[in-house]
Structure 1
């Protein structure tokens, strides 16, 4: 293999790995080019994901599925979100599980009318003594579940069946197409085999090197205080090698400072969470950081505790200033805004939630707007 071909092959493998990180479920319907790239490099990718991260990569004709291993118990969970931005709750996950089970019910083919799906969901819930909503609430939860499944490529909507379908159903009836092979791989293992809900997110014992590498790949920022002594020792001793692998595998650049480590993407697109970004929660979070840094004046490189009263009062002041441009539900309910802003900052690694407020991490100060003098 020539040098040019080897470089091109390495670049293609890295692009394929980035595609799987960005979208752990790739389908021919949503992104055929990326799926083709993953299939081309599937052997090397399977080995890399398994060895470095403890992940399982499943590659078939219609899809590729990256099954991830949970981070350690201290890492914040990343829930599903509805189209409106709200996180899935227990009811949302219940409907998602019931919908997926109904799509896999014996006798169901690759297409299923919506009415049949709804009846199957209701029947399965009743058989397991699960109380579900009815009316508008039922529709809202079913829509959220189906939107998630559509985004993953598990189901799609079609308005045409075969000739027999057209003769036996109403013309405006919604029919869903189902990718049954992918549906079977949505979860890492059969949920009915678990002893309890917590078992689904319990991290397995692994080497410090793999734990560290997974944190660097998956988290926007990894604080030194969040690393166990063994992982911290690996970061110190093997920093150069880890930096090389991050670049080779995913095109990430490792930056290590006193407060922790960051593996960032120079292209800025290898993320599922853009910040700063648009929307009320993003804007409020950015402005909140600036306000809190001014109030508490933290020592550079340190974390700082912000009590609940200061947090809510600061957000209330921001709401009063920006009420005309922010979503009405947040303007009317500052507590809800505080909850969602806190959740965003925690997901970004810029804060830790506390019962009595918030603990801002050192990287939060990077997002404080600065004023620079322009030419006179």
Structure 2
């Protein structure tokens, strides 16, 4: 191959890797929110689609004219530690989306009133736009839809893209046809497929989607795949093609993206009170396991000592809420685990010890 050919091949490889990681971080990527990113995915869509299909079994849809790319990430083990919204907001999200499909152009106030009426008629938990907690939840739903590129909110008008609303759901089966989460996430393609296909896809899904994967959390089949020469080669090749590296430790595995492109949220950083609290709680857990009550007390002492910090939590019950939010982050990043009311630090947490941050 000529020098120019080598350079072009290297450029394509770099762009495919970048496109894969962008979709991992933002499964619904629109030209409006990221024109350069969408253009890259549009140009390299064939190898990107093939990467996801071969290594993860996930489907990628790229619509150049509509201006969006959608990675349909499905799993048979939904992760409850990293929800996009809480249960209350998910209910509002579903109702709001249903209303926007009917009336794509409206105002926030009119949409809130229609949502209130629909919720009342369907017998769902009441929604009152005049109630502060409900108004905050409603605002969070609109913000989520705006971040996904589904709506444009220019006061007072709100305009939705019905096509993108229908692309929000990644489940392989329509929710109206099933009775449980297990049925909703069932992928029929694996029912009669060779076992190696599910081994490859399920293992790669875990590695690229979870911050850290511990051996004890893998199935016997997945662990056998990772420790076999052929399986290890497949994983290392796939991770490398995505522009990442695979770190292996005695306790488990970690896929590292040095450019942090595939990361939808970072830890540690100081962009939220919850992350600061999580880092401080992690330092406390370095001393040994602690009860959840101990962590609440630790958080209460921090709030007392720094009264101008975390003002949203400087109220009755604030210490409990902040400790719970910080602990939820630690569990989501695979840094801590709670069992029977006792919290223990996991091996990957050694990377984030507070004393190391000051080296």
Q: What TM-score results when the alignment is normalised by the length of structure 2?
A: 0.85
Shift of 1:203: 7.4
Counterpart position of 1:125: 119
Question: Where do 5+ consecutive residues of structure 2 fail to align?
Answer: 191-196
Does residue 286 of structure 1 match 2:286?
no
Partner Cα distance (2:174, 2:117) in 1: 21
Secondary structure (helix, strand or coil) at the match of 2:331 reads helix
Q: Alpha carbons of 1:42 and 1:264: their partners in 2 closer, same or farther (altered >3 Å)? A: same
- The CA deviation string for residues 126-182 of structure 1, in whole angstroms up to 9 with x for no partner, is 4423342212344333222211111111110246xxxxxxxxxxxxxx222221211
CA contact (8 A) 1:311 1:357 kept: no
Alignment RMSD, CA only?
A: 2.6
User: Higher Cα Rg: structure 1 or 2?
Assistant: 1
Partner Cα distance (1:373, 1:140) in 2: 38
- The CA deviation string for residues 250-298 of structure 1, in whole angstroms up to 9 with x for no partner, is 21110101011110111234312211111322122212222221x22xx
Pairing of 1:1-376 with structure 2 (within 5 A):
2-60=5-63, 61=65, 62-70=67-75, 72=77, 75-80=79-84, 88-105=85-102, 108=103, 110-134=104-128, 135-137=130-132, 138-158=134-154, 174-188=156-170, 189-196=173-180, 199-200=183-184, 207-237=198-228, 238-248=231-241, 250-278=242-270, 279-293=272-286, 295-296=287-288, 305-329=289-313, 332=316, 333-370=318-355
CA contact (8 A) 1:280 1:327 kept: no
CA contact (8 A) 2:303 2:309 kept: no
Q: Alpha carbons of 1:144 and 1:312: their partners in 2 closer, same or farther (altered >3 Å)? A: closer
CA contact (8 A) 1:154 1:182 kept: yes
Partner Cα distance (1:372, 1:345) in 2: 17
CA contact (8 A) 2:19 2:40 kept: yes
Shift of 1:318: 3.6
- The CA deviation string for residues 90-144 of structure 1, in whole angstroms up to 9 with x for no partner, is 2211111001000112xx3x53344543343234324423342212344333222
Q: What TM-score results when the alignment is normalised by the length of structure 1?
A: 0.82
Shift of 1:64: 1.0
Partner Cα distance (2:315, 2:254) in 1: 34
Partner Cα distance (2:127, 2:121) in 1: 15
Question: Where do 5+ consecutive residues of structure 1 fail to align?
Answer: 81-87, 160-173, 297-304
